[in-house]
Structure 1
Amino acid sequence: MSPESQSAADIIEHAIRAKFASTHSRHPLIVGVCGSQGSGKSTVCKTLTTRFTRAGLKVANLSLDDLYLPLAERVTLAKHVHPLLRTRGVPGTHDTKLGVHTLNALGHGGQVPLPRFDKSIDDRRPKAQWDSVEGPMQLVLFEGWCVGARPQTLGPLDQPVNALEANEDVDGRWRRYVNDALGGEYQRLFGKIDFLVLLAAPSFDVVLKWRTQQEHELRDQSGNKSGVMSDAALVRFIQHYERLTRHILIEMPGRADLVIRLSPERAVLGRF
């Protein structure tokens, strides 16, 4: 069967099984799945969780999105560092220590709480509402839009990539803070990954389309709560992610363990 006739979940499942067959020294196997907004990474990971659970493995699914800092902490960052840090998403707006602690805990026995963030209210859910799993796990699927990313070199940070950077980060202070965070605390978190997968969008241009579809689904599910964005707000929001998304599509394919290239319709074009 050619890669083009398989789904992304099929290809990743095969790669994980091959990894298990060749590696017996570490549990859990932590698989990082990186993909831009709307690329389908969350759906793929849920499918893989179901498949491997049915096969008898103990599987946990953790999203980088569930590690967002609470709203109050981002408001403080916005006040003391840069106003753009109020918006969730970029490096510097996640609780990386919580992520490292959670991934470590999944390798041990006992109940392990899995953080949960509610995007419809733009805040972390109370701990009583988090899910939990019984460790130790054999497989952890860790997905997110910049999972496994590395920082840019300083030169490219000088030139804004969109109107948001040009108008709201005139001196580059926000994007340098984001880049510094990515080069520091995030590398400890991403260093836990054993096998890195990239779901590669054909270009950044299709990401807004995908993310708009995603937001419409969230709007339908949440009953149009105030935390769900309008299409106009989404255009501005996606610009927060543009720089690093473009960087990932250039930099990560050369080092990821598995690259799955997607069409604008999210069909698999090939694997590398």
Structure 2
Amino acid sequence: MGEDDLGKQTAIALTIAGSDSGGGAGIQADLKSFSALGVYGASVLTAITAQNTRAVTLVEPVSPTMIRAQIDAVLDDLAVGAVKIGMLGTAEATVAVAEALSGRDLPIVLDPVMIAKSGDRLIRDDAIAALRELLLPRATVLTPNLPEAARLLGRMVASDPTEAEAQGRALAALGADWVLMKGGHAAGDDCTDLLVGAERHEFTAPRIATKNTHGTGCTLSSAIAAGLAQGLAVPAAVARAHDWLHGAILAADRLDVGSGHGPVHHFHQWWPE
């Protein structure tokens, strides 16, 4: 090791989420995203799902005791720079995560995962309430799509950009530092994600005609967490994650994975065409 290497710290991010046996979303997508962006990934499993590109056939929660033990094991040893929280599924899991992170000053990217790309439900009603009360106020960045934002607020899904921004600001008022309202469910030739908080930023890209968008929400939120772990400010982390995900969706059809909603190409910058 040379002198130039002394004092350098490896950027580490932790994902707390469910496992996707098909590899396109959840823990698997998060770790791929971390790796593609130059960040070491640690993981805490909250649930095991049996799923592929077509459907989720079974969900088995991990015990709250095991969730807490995993978080404690990682944070007691690794110098984690940011945490991404994805699928929790149950109120008990949400409480375990909130308790384990209590008192730890870490940037948190909270992706309120509720529905799989196949349409299968991934969270119970009591878990939504617990997430809103226990974790949303601790979020550095909350990353809901339009249906998730509406569910968290108990409102109808936003039908235009003005209402989407209003819902984003309402979620920020519940305690999140920043809210990224994802525009993937909106209509139009362009897809715009709106970041509201101390500042307002729009991130727009042409909408890509592909069915291979499984795991986009997990991928975006973990890419933001990777940026925060590397020391980027929130707007810069979101901007890089947005551009990188656009490239991953653009290259998704280069992969031949499954017969349903396939994954995005996390390693589009690294694998040969």
Query: The TM-score by the shorter chain falls in which range?
Result: under 0.3
Greater helix share, structure number: 1
Larger Rg: 1
TM-score when scaled to structure 2? Answer: 0.27
TM-score when scaled to structure 1? Answer: 0.27
Using CA pairs under 8 Å that are at least 6 residues apart, name the structure with larger relative contact order, 1 or 2: 1
